[in-house]
Amino acid sequence: MTIKNFGARVESVWEGLRPMTKKMLVGAMQSNAEKSPAPVQKFSYDTHADWELSRLLSALDEQSGTPDVAGNLEKSNEIKQLAETCADVLRSKTESAEVFIQLMNRALKKADYNMIDKLGDILAARFSVGEIAEIVRQTKVPHICAIAFETLAMKPVKSIMSLLEDPIYAEIARTTLEQQAYDFEIEEAQRILEEFDWDDFDED
């Protein structure tokens, strides 16, 4: 695999990766080729790695749709292999609203319903209430928004209440509490809706 053959943007993003991120990707690709568990855990992972892999995945996905790549089966397969490796690592590690939206949009574009379900499970298991609310705030895709709201509705009422303190997420919290109260008949959510001073809330 020769990165410079993947186009100027992909090459530029790749050259901007930290050595540790490149090693992580190479290790993951080797593991995939050998069909053994990916050695991602051997490398430290932070928000910067999250950002780097997200940028690279975007560049690869963009390049894979160009006529130059589409007409070259070998190059197309190599780009898709690297892109899927990026996506695999992100799915196993990310806790970012932006990256979740990116991964979900890829799955929706491919109509990969199995992956959509897996991402929904990841959202419920790993993401904080604040990041899930951020997904609702950022996305305009109804399917992603619905999954995020469904996940929020399964969280403890107390954690949803914490969102009421932030004006950015307060309306999202209110909608979630209403779903918990009326759809799931959770008494605590019903009580909060009745006792909360919504007049001051609406004025804000």
CB 66, CB 99: distance < 8 Å: no
Amino acid letter, residue 54: S
* pLDDT higher than 80, residue 32: no
Q: Is pLDDT at 4 greater than 60 in this prediction?
A: yes
pLDDT at 38: 47
Categorize the per-residue pLDDT at 142 as very low, low, confident or very high, splitting at 50, 70 and 90: very high
Question: Which of 202, 146, 203 lies closest to 176, judged by CA?
Answer: 146
> Quick one: the chain helix, strand, coil %, rounded to 5?
80, 0, 20
Distance between CA atoms of 191 and 45, rounded to whole angstroms? 41
Rounded CA-CA distance 159/173 in Å is 10
Q: What is the mean pLDDT of residues 153-180?
A: 94
Instruction: Specify the pLDDT at position 40.
Output: 45
Contacts for 52 with CB less than 8 Å, ≥ 6 apart = 13, 16, 17, 18, 21
Instruction: Please tell me the predicted confidence (pLDDT) of residue 181.
Output: 96
pTM score of the predicted model: 0.90
pLDDT tens per residue, range 48-70: 999 999 999 999 999 988 887 77
Determine the pLDDT at residue 203. 59
C-alpha to C-alpha distance for 168 and 204, rounded to whole angstroms: 11
Question: Residue 44: its pLDDT value, please?
Answer: 79
Give me the pLDDT at residue 69, please. 74
Q: Looking at residue 39, what is its pLDDT? A: 45
Rounded to whole angstroms, how far apart are CA atoms 82 and 87?
A: 9
Helix (H, G, I), strand (E, B) or coil at 186: coil
Q: Are 46 and 94 in contact (CB under 8 A)?
A: no
Taking CA atoms, 75 is separated from 2, 10, 61, 72, 116, in Å, by 9, 13, 13, 5, 27
The 10 Å Cβ neighbour count of residue 113 is: 10
Q: Looking at residue 62, what is its pLDDT?
A: 92
Stretch 63-88: mean pLDDT: 86
The CA distance from 62 to 57, in Å, is: 8
How confident is the model over 11-19, as a mean pLDDT? Answer: 94
How far is 62 from 125, CA to CA, in rounded Å?
A: 30
Give percent of the chain above pLDDT 90: 71
Q: What is the pLDDT of residue 64?
A: 85
